[in-house]
Amino acid sequence: MENIKSEVLNCRKCELWKTRKNPVVGEGSLKARIMFIGEAPGFNEDLQGRPFVGKAGKVLNELIESIGLRREDVYITNVVKCRPPENRDPTPEEIEKCSPYINRQIKIIRPEIICTLGKHSTSYIFKKFGLPHDNISRIHGKIYRVKNLFYDLLVIPLYHPAVAVYNADMKSELVEDFKIVKEEYMRLGGLDENSNTNRREKWIR
Ligand code: URA
Ligand code: SF4
C-alpha cells in the first residue's frame, strides 16, 4: 500500500494531476473486511488528501456508525484518486487510467464486502467483476456474490452519500441499505476478537 501511495502522489497518467491539490489514496484498516469505494475526491478531499471528509463524508460517517462500526474498522477510497475540476464526473479515460490503483488496493485488502457508493463506482466495480449492471435505483442494497479463482466476495451497491446530504428520504434509503450491509458483516463474524477476521489493528493513511 505504501508503494501505491507514493505512485499516486507522483502520478501524471491522466490530466487530473494538473488541477489537483492532493491526490486521495484512501484510508482505513488494511485488514478491513468492508471496503467503501466512492467516485472521486471533491473539494474538501482534495484540500486534505483524505477520502470523504466533506458533507458527504459526514453522512458516510453517520451511516458507518449506525451499524456499530468506526471509520477505522473499514477501508475507504475512490475509483479515481484526483479531483476532477468543479467536481465534474470523471471521464471513462480517467477511470481507465486510474483503475490499476483501485484494483491493486482491492487485492491488498481482500475485502469480504465491497460497498460501491454511487453509480460511477458501481458501474466500474460491476464491470470489473462481470456483474449484470442495472440502474442504481434498482440494484441498491442488493447483494451480489463474486466467486472465481481470484475473488470470493460480496458486492453491495449503495447510493452515493452525497445524495442524502439534503434529502431525508434518500438518507433513510441509505440507512436501510446499511442494515443489510451490517447483516452480512455480522454473518461474516462482525468485530468478534476471536473470529479470523478481527482486523482493526492497522490504521493507516
Ligand atoms: N465523493 C466521493 O465520491 N468521494 C469522496 O472522497 C468524497 C466525495
Ligand atoms: Fe494518476 Fe489517477 Fe490522478 Fe489521473 S486521477 S493523475 S491516473 S492518480
Q: What is the pLDDT of residues 53-68, one digit of tens each?
A: 999 999 999 999 999 9
Which pLDDT does position 189 carry in this prediction? 83
Can you give the C-alpha Rg of the chain in angstroms? 16
Q: Which residue has its alpha carbon closest to ligand 2 atom 2?
A: 98
pLDDT in tens, 87-116: 999 999 999 999 999 999 999 999 999 999
Q: Is residue 203 part of a domain?
A: no
Region 167-181 average pLDDT? 97
Among 36, 43, 45, the mutation site with the greatest number of ligand 1 atoms within 8 A of its Cβ is 45
- Domain of residue 113, residue span: 2-187
Cα atoms in the 13 Å half-sphere on the side-chain side of 138 = 4
Which pLDDT does position 192 carry in this prediction? 63
Q: Is residue 200 part of a domain?
A: no
Q: Is residue 178 part of a domain?
A: yes
Q: Is residue 205 part of a domain?
A: no
Whole-model pTM?
A: 0.92
Q: Is residue 98 part of a domain?
A: yes
Gap between the Cα atoms of 153 and 112, Å rounded: 5
**In the predicted model, what is the mean pLDDT of the chain?**
93
- Quick one: which ligand is closest to 81's CA? 2
Q: Is residue 199 part of a domain?
A: no
Ligand 2 centroid to residue 120 C-alpha, Å: 16
Region 155-169 average pLDDT? 97
Which pLDDT does position 150 carry in this prediction? 86
Q: Is 181 in the pocket of ligand 2 (CB under 6 A)?
A: no
Which pLDDT does position 190 carry in this prediction? 78
Nearest CA to 95 among 116, 69, 121? Answer: 121
Q: What proportion of the chain, given as a percentage, has pLDDT over 90?
A: 88
When mean pLDDT is compared across 100-104, 110-114, 143-147, 198-202, the lowest value belongs to 198-202
pLDDT in tens, 7-45: 999 999 999 999 999 999 999 999 999 999 999 999 999
Among 10, 11, 77, the mutation site with the greatest number of ligand 2 atoms within 8 A of its Cβ is 11
Grid-cell match 464526473, residue found: 89
| Position 197 pLDDT exceeds 60 | no
Q: Is residue 97 part of a domain?
A: yes
Q: How confident is the model at residue 195 (pLDDT cuts 50, 70, 90)?
A: low
- Quick one: which ligand is closest to 100's CA? 2
Q: How confident is the model at residue 78 (pLDDT cuts 50, 70, 90)?
A: very high
Quote the distance between the C-alpha of residue 86 and its chain's center. 21
Nearest CA to 38 among 29, 50, 20, 48? Answer: 50
Q: CATH number, domain at 71?
A: 3.40.470.10
- Count up the domains in the chain and report the number: 1
Q: Is residue 144 part of a domain?
A: yes
Q: How confident is the model at residue 203 (pLDDT cuts 50, 70, 90)?
A: very low
Helix 92-109 and helix 2-9: axis angle, to 10°?
A: 160
Q: What proportion of the chain, given as a percentage, has pLDDT over 70?
A: 93
